[in-house]
Structure 1
Amino acid sequence: MRPIRRHPLVTFFVLTFVIGWSLVPFGSFGAFAPLVAALVVVPIAQGRAGLVELGRRIIRWRVRWYWWALAIGVPLAVHLLATVLTSELSTLRWAATGDALLFFLLRLVNPTDGPLGEEPGWRGFALPGMQSRLSPLAATAILAVVVTVWHLPLAFLEGGDPWPVLLSLVVGTVGVTFWYTWLFDHTGGSVLLVLVAHSVEGAIDDDSVLYFALWPALAVVLVVADRRWWLRPAPVAATTSLPEAPGRVLR
Structure 2
Amino acid sequence: MKIRPLMQLYPVTSYFVLAYLISWGSSFAIGGPKFLRGELLDFEDAMRMGSLMLAGPSIAGIAMTYLVDGKTGLRNLFSRMLKWRVGLRWYAAALLIFPALILGVLWTLTAFVSPDFAPTFFAFGILGGLLAGFIEEIGWMGFAYPRMETKFGTWHATIYLALLHGSWHAMVGYLWEASTYGVYWLPRFIAMWFVAMMAMRILLVWIYSNTGSLLFAQLTHASSTGFLIILSPLMISPANETLWYAVYAVILWIPAAIMIMRFGKTFVRQPPQDTAT
TM-score scaled by length of structure 2: 0.73
User: Where has structure 1 moved over 6 Å in runs of 4 or more?
Assistant: none
Shift of 1:34: 0.6
Give 2:167's aligned residue: 149
Q: Which deviates the most, 125-134 or 158-167?
A: 158-167
Shift of 1:134: 2.4
The DSSP-based 3-state class of the residue aligned with 2:254 is: helix
Structure with greater helix share of residues: 2
Give 1:94's aligned residue: 121
For residues 73-98 of structure 1, give each alpha carbon's deviation from its aligned partner in whole angstroms, at most 9, with x where no partner exists. Answer: 11111112212332358711124xxx
1:194 aligns with one of 217, 232, 255: 217
Give 2:94's aligned residue: 71
Larger Rg over CA atoms: 2
Shift of 1:106: 6.4
Give 1:223's aligned residue: 260
Give 1:171's aligned residue: 195
Counterpart code for 2:56? A
Counterpart code for 1:116? F
Structure 1 unaligned segments of length 5 or more: list them: 233-251
Give 2:12's aligned residue: 9
Structure 2 unaligned segments of length 5 or more: list them: 32-48, 233-240, 270-277
Q: Which deviates the most, 83-92 or 162-171?
A: 83-92
Q: Distance in 2 between matches of 1:176 and 1:154?
A: 20
The count of aligned residue pairs is 223
Q: Distance in 2 between matches of 1:163 and 1:4?
A: 33
Shift of 1:228: 5.5
2:110–2:118 CA contact under 8 A, matched in 1: no
Q: Distance in 2 between matches of 1:76 and 1:107?
A: 12
Shift of 1:13: 0.7
1:19 aligns with one of 18, 22, 25: 22
Pair 45,104 (structure 1): closer, same or farther in 2 beyond 3 Å = same
Shift of 1:18: 0.5
For residues 32-52 of structure 1, give each alpha carbon's deviation from its aligned partner in whole angstroms, at most 9, with x where no partner exists. Answer: 211010111111100111101
2:158–2:201 CA contact under 8 A, matched in 1: yes
Shift of 1:17: 0.7
Counterpart code for 1:221? I
Shift of 1:129: 0.9
Q: Distance in 2 between matches of 1:14 and 1:106?
A: 25
2:126 is the counterpart of 1:104:
yes
1:175–1:215 CA contact under 8 A, matched in 2: yes
Q: Distance in 2 between matches of 1:179 and 1:154?
A: 25
For residues 132-188 of structure 1, give each alpha carbon's deviation from its aligned partner in whole angstroms, at most 9, with x where no partner exists. Answer: 222211111111111111112243122412224312222221221111111111112
2:104 is the counterpart of 1:81:
yes
Q: Distance in 1 between matches of 2:24 and 2:58?
A: 14
Q: Distance in 2 between matches of 1:75 and 1:215?
A: 8
Counterpart code for 2:88? W
CA RMSD of aligned residues (A): 2.4
Give 1:182's aligned residue: 206
Pair 178,228 (structure 1): closer, same or farther in 2 beyond 3 Å = closer
Give 2:42's aligned residue: none
1:40 aligns with one of 63, 69, 81: 63
Q: Distance in 2 between matches of 1:16 and 1:215?
A: 27
Identity fraction in percent: 24
Shift of 1:200: 2.1
Q: Distance in 1 between matches of 2:211 and 2:75?
A: 18
Give 2:248's aligned residue: 211
Q: Distance in 1 between matches of 2:107 and 2:76?
A: 42
2:120–2:231 CA contact under 8 A, matched in 1: yes
